[in-house]
Structure 1
């Protein structure tokens, strides 16, 4: 059994299946600190970082920022939320941003 957390060389995140692209559909463009956050998070994922955190106040565009990262990296992504209400909100927003992709929602009680 390997060590935990695994090193970046041990991690090989899955890529989107052939022909299935993650396509962000929106008229919005990243503003303020979002472009820098998108670049930094994308670079972290592509370099094999296993843990990253995006901090921001309510309404600062964290979901939109993450959606841009998902489109750039073209990998299935697990988004966790601390409660049912926020999970439902994230599901709705991501479903609108990725209307041509599968966006799933699961709540454990």
Structure 2
């Protein structure tokens, strides 16, 4: 799938920041709040991850340094695919951070998180 075939529908939120907007993709139940458009390596990563899922790839890895926008990239992938997702975090602190960020990216959709209190 190429960017040309994925035309997002843009809707400005009532309390928008100057560059923020809601974006929906055809067939997707998710409304993604984009405070800014994907930049740098993100557009290519989003395209490749979406293509991988659509081609049935079972394992994919998104690599990036701290602060490179991995969570934002995954939010865009989830919105483009229009499928529910489970995102794992290695600890409670990061789980809470992911939950908070996904709530910001998907304020009109259900976002939940679960923390296990068992040590494995």
- In the superposition, the TM-score normalised over structure 2's length comes to 0.73
Question: Structure 1: which 5+ residue stretches go unaligned?
Answer: 1-18
**1:92 aligned residue:** 100
Q: Which of 58, 64, 83 is 1:56 aligned to?
A: 64
Aligned length: 91
**Structure showing the higher strand proportion among its residues:** 2
Deviation at 1:95, TM superposition (A): 0.6
- Measure the CA separation in 2 of the matches of 1:66 and 1:45: 12
**2:53 aligned residue:** 45
**Counterpart contact for 2:28–2:79, Cα < 8 Å:** no
- Measure the CA separation in 2 of the matches of 1:104 and 1:23: 16
Select the structure with the greater relative contact order (CA < 8 A; seq sep ≥ 6).
Answer: 1
**Counterpart contact for 2:28–2:83, Cα < 8 Å:** no
Deviations 1:22-48 (A, max 9, x none): 110123101110001000000011111
**1:21 aligned residue:** 29
- In the superposition, the TM-score normalised over structure 1's length comes to 0.80
Question: Structure 2: which 5+ residue stretches go unaligned?
Answer: 1-26
Change (3 A) 1:20 1:71: closer
